[in-house]
Amino acid sequence: MGAVLEHDSVETLVQAARRCLLKTYEDLALSVPGTSVSHENGMMLLLGPAKVSFCCCAGGFDIEEGGTEALVLELRRLAIDHPGLTVYAASGDRPSSITHYLEKAGFRSRMALQQLGWFPSKIEPEIDMQAAVGQVQRTAAAMFMSSQFFSGSSKDYRKVVSLATANSSHQIWSCGHAHAPAGAVMTAHTEECIGIYNLCVRDNIRGEGLGTRMLRTLMNMAYTERLPAVLQCEESLVSWYTRQGFQRLGEVRSFRYDPRMTF
């Protein structure tokens, strides 16, 4: 399994995971025509026509404490003009009190994902995963992932997510038939780490170990590249990932402006 992370290593990996998430969202968003990106005023801002969170979001805060309130008020103005704006606050943001300022300005926490990391150690791959190549295969795998993770969303929403994933520079992997996967996952590679996203298995074969074999194969990929692996997941999945050697790094929280809140 992964080596136990020392404090300095944890802090380094927290920042690597944070940057990987931002780069992943940016790449997905820029795959959607009409989306713009800016890295100004101590944050990343993505604004686009599609009503999906990665096309209309802000995050990556790196500002002095004294400038936080003004920035959050600007975010509130943007949220009024762009009602779907999602603000992501992650462990490693500066200041760490950014969530306090968001809540004070009327932003409501919608979701919290746990940030996990694994430092590479020797591990054997357990399944043959095929890289989805070509637009047809990438779209098929992306549609599968979208159907698994956003089953409660509209068909149009899933289509935007699928096309953005297929058109991005991220790698997509699948198991089973190329056009009807049994499992699929997306990876985002940076110089610092490998990000694992949307690991999923077809409903009727869950519990048979395919997800574990896929994850261990991805861990072998990270070991081969001498890079740590990072991911975000719901609290309910943390124990499954920690059994495979992942360790908690922090948290990613999403916020939306709610004009009904008092502040």
Q: What's CA 168's distance to the chain center, in Å?
A: 14
**Would you give the DSSP letter of residue 123?**
-
pLDDT at 8: 53
Mean pLDDT (the chain, rounded): 92
pLDDT of residue 255: 98
Query: What is the predicted pLDDT for the residue at 185?
Result: 97
Does the structure show a pLDDT above 90 at 142?
yes
Question: Can you tell me which residue has the tokens 């979701």?
Answer: 111
pLDDT per position as a tens digit, 20-30: 999 999 999 99
Quote the percentage of the chain above a pLDDT of 70: 96
Burial pattern 214-248, b for ≥16 Cβ within 10 A else e, equals: bbbbbbbbbbeeebbbbbbbeeebeeebbebbbbe
SS in 3 state form for 21-39? HHHHHHHHHHCCCCCEEEE
> Which helix (H) or strand (E) segment is 234 a member of?
none
- Is the model's pLDDT at 262 over the cut of 60? no
Angle at 86 (CA atoms; ends 54, 254), nearest 5 degrees: 100
pTM, two decimal places? 0.92
> Which single residue is written with the structure tokens 């149009």?
156
Quickly state the pLDDT bin for 151 (edges 50, 70, 90).
confident
pLDDT of residue 90: 98
| Confidence at residue 57, expressed as pLDDT on a 0 to 100 scale | 97
For the chain, list the domains and their CATH numbers: 7-114+251-257 (3.40.630), 130-227 (3.40.630.30)
Mean pLDDT, residues 97-114 taken together: 96
Checking if the pLDDT of 2 tops 80, the result is no
Q: Is the peptide bond before 95 cis (omega within 30 degrees of 0)?
A: yes
* Residue 5: predicted pLDDT: 41
The β-bridge relationship of strands 56-59 and 86-90 is parallel
- Alpha-carbon span 256 to 85, nearest angstrom: 6
Cβ atoms of 13 and 21 within 8 Å: the answer is no
Question: Distance between CA atoms of 96 and 162, rounded to whole angstroms?
Answer: 33
State the burial class of residue 134 (Cβ atoms within 10 Å of its Cβ: 0-12, 13-18, 19+).
exposed
List alpha helices for 168-224, DSSP H. 210-224
pLDDT of 263 above 90? no
Tell me the per-residue pLDDT of 48-82, one tens digit each, with 9 for 90 and over.
998 899 999 999 999 999 999 999 999 999 999 99
| Alpha carbon distance 251, 253 (integer Å) | 6
Question: What pLDDT digit, counting tens, does each position of 172-230 carry?
Answer: 999 988 778 999 999 999 999 999 999 999 988 888 999 999 999 999 999 999 999 99
Sequence-distant (6+) residues with CB within 8 A of 162 are 139, 142, 143, 145, 146
Question: In sequence order, what are the residues at sequence separation of 6 or more whose Cβ sits closer than 8 angstroms to the Cβ of residue 133?
Answer: none
